[in-house]
Structure 1
Amino acid sequence: MNDSRSLTDFSRRRLLQAGAAGAALAASPFAINIVRAQGGPIRIGFPTPLTGAFSAEAQDQVRAAELAVKEFNDAGGFQGRKVELLVRDDKLNPGEAATRTLELIEKDKVDFIVGSLSAATQLSINAVTRERKVIFNSISQSDAINEAKDWSPYTFHEALNPHMTAGAVARYAFPKFGKRIVYLTADYAYGHEMVRGFERAGKELGATTLADIRHPLGAADYSAFLPRIQALKPDVLVLCNFGRDLVNSVKQATDFGLKSTTRIVAPVLLFTSRLAGGADAFDGVVGGTSYYWGMEDTVPAAKVFNDKFRKAYGGAVPSDYGALGYAGVRSVLAAMVEAKTTESSKVAEVLGRLKYNWYKGDQSYRKCDHQSVQSVIIVESKSKGMKDKNDVFSVLSIEQPNEANLRSCTELGFKA
């Protein structure tokens, strides 16, 4: 453990930028400033849907975020101050998310907000934080949060966005599996943005949309849609839904026999959904993800992160959205240390130029919209040859970080 009095500029830069994953991440994760406390705890508000269709993913977000906080506090905190994580249930409801966020800022006096697990709730959270000039680091997929009309200097997006995710999956899947596409889409922002991303990438690949069939969020029964999908004879069925919706639609499509003629693809193939749905239902399904723990065989940062998570949680491995909770909190804390203050404007300035490698490889925030530029991992669910219960995916490909795969700043509404 390093004392701030002996921390060199080189080691500080190495810790914050994590340029060499193995060396930097094996070291103490945060620059430490152990001095007399200058106030109360640093508070991070963490709204996420602890109840509802995405509850499993939300619980993983919380666990990993708590790990980041514990690491920071164990390393001495910041100027003698420890960090507290204030978790609130947004119930997957935009109005509830806005209310909880307002309470966190006005009543609980949080310094920063990290969280969200829905495209809709993150926009309502961002509306509150933007108005009050509080940093919000979103850990849920959204295209709209990057657009100038919804953005602010205090808005950061740690998660992938649908344009990045769908584009990467399309570039992998459509040339291999066929170009006649049907979408089964959750009828809200996440689903709509995913379809847009697929169609945009698919246009360059010669793909054709046969139908975009929409279902309500939280649907339990997909039987009414399956005969129509089968009759269209698509090469690929893309399931643009999430969480419990993904589990239910994959199970029912498999039971209906669609896999005999159609390849099933999911833009976000969740670790938690695969565990819930089972090997047989998900067998052969291909999709994208921001993280898979099995990357540890080839990515040193993943091994370090996984081992810390295993130690903290009885041998469990982190999920994709769990890892986002960790990175979202850790990035804000790293920027705070570098800025030497909790003042949002100064922390945001540092956060915007942060280069880091917390768990999956090199990442950085794009200047115009604060989108985290990062890799997209393409995985396939497997039912055979698994080493243990968590060995559920094969990594097929990793699309490396590339700003060219994002919508341009001009398209998002930012002035050149």
Structure 2
Amino acid sequence: MSDGIRLTAGRRKFLAATAAVGGLQLSSPFIIKARGDVPVKIGFIDPITGSLSALAVSEVEGAKWTVDQMNKKGGILGRPVQLLVEDSANDTGTGVQKAHKLIERDKVDVIMGDVNSGIAYAIMGVTSDKKVLHIVPGGHTDPITGKDCKWNTFRTCNTTAMDAAAVTGELVKRFGKKWFFVTPDYAYGQTLQANFVKNLEKLGGTWQGDMLPIANADFSATLIKAKAFKPDVLLNNMGGAAQINCMKQFVQFGMAKEMALGGALFEIEAIRSVPKEAQTGWWVMEWYWNQPNVPQVKEFVDAISPSIGNRKPTARHWMAYVSLQAVKLAAEKAKTLEAVKMAQALSDLELPPDVSLSPNKIKYRAGDHQLMSDIFVGQVHPPGPDGPDDLFKVEEIVTGEKAAGPAEETGCKLVWPS
């Protein structure tokens, strides 16, 4: 995953991950302090340990840096911001427990989380019941802003429907209609594969695939099945450490010469950790650091890079940055931290260029509270001339509205408190 992070079990992994985000405490939440009274408290729940830890670490790095910058500029509504980070440990029960703790004991004003879609979905039940504004920076499963949407919940990353819609046509056009899926068997993977299959079958395609545990390590049986099927494209929908292991075994089995690679997300954290032969395929980036026509992006990259080991920020850093800036924008527009008024203020609020860091205008859509962000479709490649994080060539930018379709078709029906 991200540099210096080892995806091994147990205490070493937790210590490595927490060190990477500036020394998160083992027994208490990490708190960023600034001058002033009565802080604005933001609870941030992510799987700092577990198979998705590298993605979570990047989100927490981005959140930590963003809050530091906010506090240097007066915080939110003139009050300092405290970031309270809790580890969901990639476990739904733990994530829900941490949400209760942050709301009931720590009295946070806002909740953010989780990378794991199933945990993010479960946390929604707590935040809606407690009437606390909830932003999901990086959990993708569709019902969060679809059929189970809540007035208090907003999402920054794409839905799986958006990612699948953005890349399906490109994969079919370039490689063919016979696909094999390697998919994690939880909320994210289930909705992602369903959306891919829907799009593929509309184009007359056929498919096979396996649903595997989220932290699966041995892919030999699945890859043997894929070789026998002889697909045009193998779609590796796994995430985190599991995706890396699958990629490594794909190369070891000599499959790179037999079929194309592709799918929705192959994130920078994962690309850094696979063999050069597996740094390939057509994928989606939900944000990318190299946008030469958007000057605000370079300013952001130059500013944040020193705090994250002089690496380029990833989409996960951006997701945390946008989510926190959205809280500030909503509070300033509403002139309060009251959840209902902030949620109303954030609905259809266009993000300024220095927050969106995107080529097109984007906003959290009022109809479902989904961010209509730009989607970058292109090719992964080994490190290029712009350094070790020059790993992706953008071939097409798909707008969020085009990929998402109308809000009315998502199944979302927002019900606001009376």
Match of 1:280 in 2: 277
Q: Secondary structure at the match of 2:221?
A: coil
Match of 1:363 in 2: 362
* TM-score, structure 1 as length reference: 0.86
Aligned to 1:254, which of 238, 251, 255?
251
Deviations 1:87-142 (A, max 9, x none): 00001111111000110000000000112101100011111001111010001212
Q: Secondary structure at the match of 2:408?
A: coil
Match of 1:236 in 2: 233
Determine whether 1:339 maps to 2:334. yes
Aligned to 1:93, which of 70, 91, 108?
91
Match of 1:402 in 2: 401
What displacement does 1:226 show? 1.3
Match of 2:163 in 1: 165
Aligned to 2:315, which of 303, 316, 320?
320
Give runs of aligned pairs for residues 34-183 of structure 1, distance below 5 A: 39-139=37-137, 140-148=139-147, 150-183=148-181
Aligned mates of 1:413, 1:47 — CA distance in 2: 24
CA, structure 1 residues 45+166, in 2 after alignment: closer, same or farther (shift >3 Å)?
A: same
8 Å CA contact retained: 1:364, 1:374: yes
8 Å CA contact retained: 1:66, 1:326: no
Match of 1:10 in 2: none
8 Å CA contact retained: 2:149, 2:413: no
- Using the TM superposition, name which of 155-164 and 305-314 deviates more: 305-314
Aligned mates of 2:82, 2:414 — CA distance in 1: 38
What displacement does 1:192 show? 1.0
What displacement does 1:178 show? 0.6
Match of 2:378 in 1: 379
| Aligned-CA RMSD value | 1.9
What displacement does 1:415 show? 8.4
8 Å CA contact retained: 1:279, 1:392: no
Aligned mates of 2:243, 2:130 — CA distance in 1: 36
Aligned residues: 376
Aligned mates of 1:337, 1:405 — CA distance in 2: 28
Aligned mates of 2:135, 2:404 — CA distance in 1: 21
Match of 2:211 in 1: 214
Match of 1:291 in 2: 287
Q: Unaligned 5+ residue runs, structure 1? A: 1-35
8 Å CA contact retained: 2:289, 2:301: yes
Letter in 2 for 1:234: P
Aligned mates of 2:284, 2:220 — CA distance in 1: 25
What displacement does 1:241 show? 1.1
Aligned mates of 1:61, 1:155 — CA distance in 2: 18
8 Å CA contact retained: 2:383, 2:389: no
Deviations 1:330-361 (A, max 9, x none): 11111111111111111111011210142224
CA, structure 1 residues 161+411, in 2 after alignment: closer, same or farther (shift >3 Å)?
A: closer
8 Å CA contact retained: 2:233, 2:261: yes
Q: Secondary structure at the match of 1:325?
A: helix
Percent identity between the aligned chains? 30
Q: Unaligned 5+ residue runs, structure 2? A: 1-34
Deviations 1:245-273 (A, max 9, x none): 11111111111111212101131010000
Letter in 2 for 1:246: Q
What displacement does 1:79 show? 4.1
CA, structure 1 residues 78+291, in 2 after alignment: closer, same or farther (shift >3 Å)?
A: closer
Match of 2:390 in 1: 391
8 Å CA contact retained: 2:136, 2:154: yes
Aligned mates of 1:401, 1:411 — CA distance in 2: 13
8 Å CA contact retained: 1:279, 1:381: no
What displacement does 1:219 show? 1.0
8 Å CA contact retained: 1:286, 1:381: yes
CA, structure 1 residues 229+407, in 2 after alignment: closer, same or farther (shift >3 Å)?
A: farther
Q: Secondary structure at the match of 2:112?
A: strand
CA, structure 1 residues 384+334, in 2 after alignment: closer, same or farther (shift >3 Å)?
A: closer
Letter in 2 for 1:251: K
Deviations 1:296-337 (A, max 9, x none): x23223212211212433522111112101111111111111
Match of 1:352 in 2: 347
* TM-score, structure 2 as length reference: 0.86
Match of 2:24 in 1: none
What displacement does 1:71 show? 1.8
Match of 1:184 in 2: 182
Letter in 2 for 1:232: F
8 Å CA contact retained: 1:183, 1:237: yes
Letter in 2 for 1:293: W
Aligned mates of 1:310, 1:294 — CA distance in 2: 13
Match of 2:19 in 1: none
Aligned mates of 2:117, 2:309 — CA distance in 1: 32
8 Å CA contact retained: 2:163, 2:403: no
Determine whether 1:300 maps to 2:295. yes
CA, structure 1 residues 231+332, in 2 after alignment: closer, same or farther (shift >3 Å)?
A: same
Q: Secondary structure at the match of 1:372?
A: coil
Match of 1:8 in 2: none
Aligned mates of 1:355, 1:387 — CA distance in 2: 32
What displacement does 1:278 show? 3.5
Q: Secondary structure at the match of 2:197?
A: helix
